[in-house]
Structure 1
Amino acid sequence: MKAWAGVGEAYAASYAALCAGTIDALATELGSGRGRSLLDVGAGTGLLAAHFTARGWDVTGCEPEATMRAVAEREHPEVPFVPGALPDLPFAEAQFDAVTANFVLNHVDDPRLSARELARVSADLVAASIWVRSPSWLWLEVCERAGLLPGAGERLALEKDFERDAAGFAGMFRDGGWREVVVAELTWTWQAEPAALWASAEGGVASAGAFYRALDESGRRRFRGAFDELCAERAVDGVVALPHTAAIASGHRG
């Protein structure tokens, strides 16, 4: 749903570190590789794919955005990255022993259809994550201070949406054909440098970045001023502590 074109470098400098916060939990769910094959869908800049490769998995990264793949290929040459996007992945049925999708299903137009596609290309194991409490709360505070009205954002059609919590995530996957679904919520704090946070906004990453880029010059100055004020108030030892919560699901192909 969200446009990610051209944001690979900005994402690598900002939210890539935040989204890596679920990697250990996903790795615990799937275990060590022992040569088994894994497909990471929506691989971004490749941090999860590289982590699983180090754990003995034979990993393929699948990422539709060219600038994301460019960063991933440069930083993780040991992992092959190919283009492809949900809900139509360019792989055979049951081609991989396991499939992951880290913070991907909160961006697709049809989550259930996409969940079914994740299961289709897996021979057995599937694991995925979404935000329950995302970084958007920080940028809403920035907009409030700046006197700017944030966009409403894109919403899924009612029949395609699901509750963004553990129970809703689990139900969506069951509807998508997964079995033995287990979902847990994970909360952690991202110790973010203000420069990394600003790189996401200025670089057009996610909703906040798209909002900032759509502002006129006056609006951008107000947005930046409010951001600097907020960081000055919240920063301790040069970093801003940002708590976030994700739902992490694991299951088996139906």
Structure 2
Amino acid sequence: MTAFDEAERRIWDGRAAAYARSFAGLCARTVPALIEAAKVGPGARVLDVGTGTGAVAAAACRARAIVSAVDAEPDMTQWAAEAVPEADVRVAWLPELPFVDGTFDAVLANFVLNHVGRPRTAAAELRRVTADGGRVAVSLWGDERGAGQSLAYRAVVAAGLELPPALPPLAPEEEFPRTEEGVAALLAGAGFTGVVCETVRFDHRVDPERWWSGTAGGVGPTGALIASQPQDVIDAVRKEFDALTLPFLGDDGLLTLPHVALLASGSA
């Protein structure tokens, strides 16, 4: 396990409930496109890598696939197992999946490759467990960001907090550009063919309190920093957060937050 992976484990330890009530809804926005890109259908053997609270696994089950799901965080797997009882959910992580070569007809990884210390090795592992003729579909946060992204980070800066240390760097040979071309090359380099990657833009509508709850609950590096502060500092960050979200607040009381992601797929 790399230093990056160890840092990710610490950040996500015990955060399933906070994630479920906040950012899970955001990450679920790409699920229908992933299911379609991977051609998930009745009887397909599907692996959901980095299942989180189970959104991809649930969608694959609704498509009447035979679903396995894994996550590195035990708290997440417990949540997903309860949410999607028809799926085989277990603790496991990239790049060492507990399945024999060519087990699955479709392998999906929704916002996962951003969170692994060896993304090129992880992509090769996705290929290893995909059957010949099978499909892979992945989503990532890329270099381009929507206006509604990183609000918590900006609130921390505005409140004058010392920023959290950056995650440990990836090894140079594992790095890749977070662009359409970079993600397509990542999958092609792992052995997938016919790879396509597109930029996906969408507005995420959410209640401000629900959106803040993920950050206040310690989700992500910025959330972990905020949650560790005394209450007066948290209140100061919240004040800045409210000011930054005001331009996105509609008459219905919901935020409309523009986001940008990358979605790639290919064949084995």
The TM-score bracket by the shorter chain reads over 0.9
For 2:191 and 2:232, locate their aligned partners in 1 and report how far apart those are by CA, in whole Å: 49
Summarize the alignment of residues 137-148 of structure 1 with structure 2, pairs less than 5 Å apart.
Answer: 137-148=150-161
> Is residue 2:138 matched to residue 1:125?
no
- Given candidates 17, 39, 42, the residue that maps to 2:50 is 42
- Given candidates 47, 56, 59, the residue that maps to 2:64 is 56
Summarize the alignment of residues 80-229 of structure 1 with structure 2, pairs less than 5 Å apart.
Answer: 80-123=88-131, 124-132=134-142, 133=145, 136-154=149-167, 155-229=169-243
Per-residue deviation at 1:222? 1.6
Question: Which amino acid counterpart does residue 181 of structure 1 have in structure 2?
Answer: V
For 2:210 and 2:216, locate their aligned partners in 1 and report how far apart those are by CA, in whole Å: 10
Change over 3 Å in CA distance of 1:19–1:73 after alignment to 2: same
Per-residue deviation at 1:32? 4.1
Q: 2:86 matched to which residue of 1?
A: 78
Structure 2: runs of 5+ lacking an equivalent: none
For 1:74 and 1:243, locate their aligned partners in 2 and report how far apart those are by CA, in whole Å: 31
The range that moved more, 97-106 or 217-226, is 217-226
Change over 3 Å in CA distance of 1:149–1:241 after alignment to 2: farther
Change over 3 Å in CA distance of 1:42–1:32 after alignment to 2: closer
For 1:248 and 1:219, locate their aligned partners in 2 and report how far apart those are by CA, in whole Å: 37
Per-residue deviation at 1:36? 1.1
Structure 1: runs of 5+ lacking an equivalent: none
The Cα RMSD (Å) is: 1.8
The range that moved more, 120-129 or 131-140, is 131-140
Summarize deviations over 1:150-200 as a string: whole Å, max 9, x none.
335223233321111111111122222222211111110111211221221
For 2:161 and 2:61, locate their aligned partners in 1 and report how far apart those are by CA, in whole Å: 44
Normalising by structure 2, report the TM-score. Answer: 0.88
For 1:136 and 1:10, locate their aligned partners in 2 and report how far apart those are by CA, in whole Å: 18
Q: 1:251 matched to which residue of 2?
A: 266
Question: Which amino acid counterpart does residue 198 of structure 2 have in structure 1?
Answer: A
For 2:85 and 2:37, locate their aligned partners in 1 and report how far apart those are by CA, in whole Å: 25
Per-residue deviation at 1:202? 1.7
Change over 3 Å in CA distance of 1:226–1:167 after alignment to 2: same
Question: Which amino acid counterpart does residue 150 of structure 1 have in structure 2?
Answer: L
Per-residue deviation at 1:125? 1.3
- Given candidates 240, 243, 253, the residue that maps to 2:255 is 240
Summarize deviations over 1:189-246 as a string: whole Å, max 9, x none.
1112112212211211112212213434443232122123333453112111111111
Change over 3 Å in CA distance of 1:140–1:225 after alignment to 2: same
For 1:232 and 1:248, locate their aligned partners in 2 and report how far apart those are by CA, in whole Å: 29
For 2:172 and 2:151, locate their aligned partners in 1 and report how far apart those are by CA, in whole Å: 26
> Is residue 2:42 matched to residue 1:28?
no
Normalising by structure 1, report the TM-score. Answer: 0.93
For 1:239 and 1:121, locate their aligned partners in 2 and report how far apart those are by CA, in whole Å: 41
Per-residue deviation at 1:148? 2.6
For 2:47 and 2:123, locate their aligned partners in 1 and report how far apart those are by CA, in whole Å: 14
The range that moved more, 131-140 or 81-90, is 131-140
Q: 1:69 matched to which residue of 2?
A: 77
Summarize deviations over 1:36-85 as a string: whole Å, max 9, x none.
11000000100111111111211111112111122212222222211100
Q: Is the 8 A contact 2:151 2:244 kept in 1?
A: no
